[in-house]
Amino acid sequence: MKELIVKTSDFLNAKCIRRKVVCPKDAFEGLCLDKDFTVNLRAEKTDNVNVYFSGDIEGAYRLSCARCLEGFACFFKIPISFDIDFDGSGTINIAEEVRQLLLIDIPAKPLCDDNCGGILGVAQVTDGGDYNCISSETGDELFIKEKWKQLLKKD
């Protein structure tokens, strides 16, 4: 993605440049992005060797819900704030920084919804932290639901 590279020559006419870079969803391996994502970039040359980058990264991950295992789009807007020195050839490529920001932002236990009922639609967490069973169950379903309630209470 050459739009994520800035050069000393980019700052000949301005101290600050802005770019909106649309990156393909498969730009980085193993990042499970749902669609193309956007890097809203502001680069300000602070001195002859250093550039301060700000802005944000907007898009969505394609994740599996930790409770019901259904796939869903998890939207993100990650702030950018770092500074980097030009390399020997007078360029800075921020692709690796963007990749790392995306990587550390992925939720460890993503939920499709705060009230997701899980695989069986067993429990709904209420504000008080109680679990409300959905009714009309046979003996087996009731047993499984009780097991789920016990498991969920351990968290």
Residue ranges in contact with Zn ion by CB under 5 A: 65, 67-68, 112, 116
CB of residue 128 to Zn ion, shortest distance in Å: 21
- Count of alpha carbons within 13 Å of 98, Cβ hemisphere only? 29
CB of residue 123 to Zn ion, shortest distance in Å: 12
What residue spans of the chain are helical by DSSP H? 95-105, 139-154
> Of 45 and 67, which CB lies nearer to Zn ion in the complex structure?
67
> Of 90 and 107, which CB lies nearer to Zn ion in the complex structure?
107
CB of residue 108 to Zn ion, shortest distance in Å: 15
> Of 78 and 125, which CB lies nearer to Zn ion in the complex structure?
125
CB of residue 106 to Zn ion, shortest distance in Å: 16
Distance (Å) of CA 11 to CA 5, 25, 57? 13, 29, 22
Question: What are 56's two structure tokens?
Answer: 């944000």
Cα-Cα-Cα-Cα dihedral sign, residues 27, 33, 38, 39 = negative
> Of 70 and 130, which CB lies nearer to Zn ion in the complex structure?
70
Question: What are 32's two structure tokens?
Answer: 């499970």
Torsion of CA 88, 21, 58, 51, to 10 degrees: 30
